[in-house]
Amino acid sequence: MIKARTAKFQIGQVVRHRIFSFRGVIFDIDPEFNNTEEWWLSIPEEVRPHKDQPFYHLLAENAESEYVAYVSEQNLLPDESGEPIRHSQVAEIFIKDKTGGYRPRNPSLN
């Protein structure tokens, strides 16, 4: 049985991947793995995350592109750079606040 844990990060928080060079803003959280088995099995076994942890949906970006990523909590770290996220969908989902953080445009959706 999978036991869900409390999420360490929150919607609107900017995070970066622990291993790969990309960062993003969280727009949704699954309390435990909620993707296809095929997706999970496509990850090399030696780096495959456990399913019993929160997984985060990110508006992600790297030096070359912008995309949506699905990342396990164990692979995320807070992004302390203070740099804005350039992803084209950020303005559709978030409002940038005075501190440079992101708050959902429609908090009732989450």
Q: pLDDT tens digits, residue range 22-39?
A: 999 999 999 999 999 999
Q: Can you give the pLDDT at residue 102? A: 95
Tokens of 36: 């296809």
Q: pLDDT tens digits, residue range 35-76?
A: 999 999 999 898 899 999 999 999 999 999 999 999 999 999
Question: Please, are residues 51 and 32 in contact by the beta-carbon 8 Å criterion?
Answer: yes
Q: Can you give the pLDDT at residue 109? A: 53
pTM: 0.90
